[in-house]
Amino acid sequence: MRNLLNTGLCGFICLIIGNSAMASDKATNAYDFSFPSIDGGEIDLADYRGKAVLVVNTASMCGYTPQYTGLQALWSDYRADGLVVLGVPSGDFGGQEYADDSEIKDFCTVNFDVDFPMTTKQSVRGEDAHPFFKWAEAELGSDQAPKWNFHKYLVDPNGNLVASFATRIKPEDDVVVSAIKEALSGS
């Protein structure tokens, strides 16, 4: 009986893992993905159809953490125009993120007044990466995959991945703001 239970459990786990891996292989655009929300429930990117989405892998204890200020400013300045900023906390680079989602949320709220949507802590690189990040790497190439915290992907209102910005490029930099404005204008 115990072997049967173990076999069933292993089969279920393989099914779940297999479906996650296949999700990024079969994806046609960003609307095919969802994330667990740091507030509970799911963040389904399909709910953002018609909006531009800036997906950013974040970390609370990184030299680039002050970029939260720029991300919050983008959210405040362009939210009414159709921009969504989505923070995806990750400890993949130097373990620079809290282990507990409530600590992450508290840190972001207290220190940076973050009120844009955030996911639970996720992996953003390698075999364990969230399917969105696997898809983004497959779409744009491994040279556009996150190399550190605060890598940014811009999704247009049709769900297409249209830009990738390295860590060192700040949210308020002209190249990011121009790409967001272009995505929002539909040109």
Catalytic residue (choose from 10, 14, 62, 108): 62
The residues, ordered by sequence, that sit 6+ positions from 134 with a Cβ below 8 Å of its Cβ are 21, 24
- CA–CA separation, 16 and 32 (whole Å): 16
Q: Are 52 and 156 in contact (CB under 8 A)?
A: yes
Q: Which helix (H) or strand (E) holds 133?
A: helix 131-140
Tokens of 151: 């890598």
HEC states along 70-99? HHHHHHHHHHHHCEEEEEEECCCCCCCCCC
Look-up: residue for tokens 């389904």?
44
- With CA atoms as reference, report the closest residue to 136 among 32, 17, 37: 32
Q: Is 62 a catalytic residue?
A: yes
Q: Give the residue numbers annotated as catalytic, written as ranges.
A: 62
